[in-house]
Amino acid sequence: MPRCWTVASTSGRILLDGEDISALDPVQLRRRIGYVIQQVGLFPHKTVLDNTATVPHLLGRPRREARARAAELLDLVGLDPATYGDRYPEQLSGGQRQRVGVARALAADPPVLLMDEPFGAVDPVVREHLQNEFLRLESTLRKTVLFVGADRGLKRLSVTPVEPGDLERPPVVRLDDPAARAAGRISADGASWAVVLDADGALHGWVPAAALTGAPEAPADGAGPGLKKRAPQGATVREHARRMDARLPLGAPLRQALSTMLQHDAGWVAVQDGDRFLGVLTPARLHTALRRATTADAANVPRGEVSLDTVPGPGAPGPAG
């Protein structure tokens, strides 16, 4: 079992619900904070249900009440108490043990959750699934969650969802729009490309304005100037549209967005709500979303209320081509 030590602060004050923690009993203080660690730290001689009910039991709640609360939380984290409640930690997978650890941390309904490398001991596939599940739980429970570690900025990518305010809205054209009309629409927006939707409004891909006007395009290998190919009379966007597979759902973590960009060598990812196209997330917007999330958490305000100072830089990358 891991051991915990109390380290006294050397300066400043730490307040929990307005109380200076230096004036609180350390044992009682720890029971007010849900704690999830990398190796989980479940009691090997206790069942899953009794492990989850540990803190409510220590707080003096009747055994039946504590176990009922434990069963409720096991169900919340996706472990049926009828199936898993009487099992022991050694009978669970790593991902299942981590879920029990999260349930146990929530058992006493603490105002604060301290996550110390909570998903570091499981394989990458399970880790991503647990992180997505935790995002769902966090949005439901509305707890204050603290992640610790030198690379906490990177960890925040896994728990910060893509929101509508993070997106850019590029010009949008349809597959069957006349090429000349679509080019004019893109030009009027001062853009060099547009997102392409099909007749049902579902995302198809993108199209460069140059392909619609017959302007020269750089070849894919960058070896020399492209040939000027004028769009034939009566051509539509369909003849020039390119597929775009870099896409993800609204609410996906920023880590998934970054991974998708790298996987598809894309300058942006399309964000959808079901089949409805909402906008695109660029690397610059991803960085801004991460900064805004950090600032919002520090100020305890919604991300949409945060205004950031920006540093001038090069333009945002375009789509993959």
Question: Which range marks the domain in which residue 108 is found?
Answer: 15-148
Residues paired with residue 196 on neighbouring β-strands, in sequence order: 173, 205
The CATH number of the domain where 171 resides is what?
3.10.580.10
Q: How many domains does the chain have?
A: 2
Most confident among 43-52, 54-63, 130-139, 311-320 (mean pLDDT): 43-52
pLDDT (0 to 100) of residue 177: 93
pLDDT (0 to 100) of residue 107: 83
CB neighbours of 21 closer than 8 A, spacing ≥ 6? Answer: 14, 15, 29
201, exposed or middle or buried, with CB in 10 Å at 0-12, 13-18, 19+? exposed
pLDDT (0 to 100) of residue 226: 44
- Digit-coded pLDDT (tens) for 199-222: 888 999 999 998 888 755 544 333
Question: Rounded CA gap, 264 and 66, in Å?
Answer: 49
- Digit-coded pLDDT (tens) for 75-110: 888 889 999 999 999 999 888 888 888 888 888 788
Q: Are residues 191 and 113 in the same domain?
A: no
- The verdict on residue 157 lying in a domain is no
Q: Are residues 181 and 212 in the same domain?
A: yes
- The verdict on residue 153 lying in a domain is no
Q: Are residues 114 and 46 in the same domain?
A: yes
304 against 193, higher pLDDT: 193
pLDDT (average), residues 122-129 = 65
pLDDT (0 to 100) of residue 28: 81
- Range of weakest confidence among 31-45, 164-178, 246-260: 31-45
Q: Are residues 122 and 205 in the same domain?
A: no
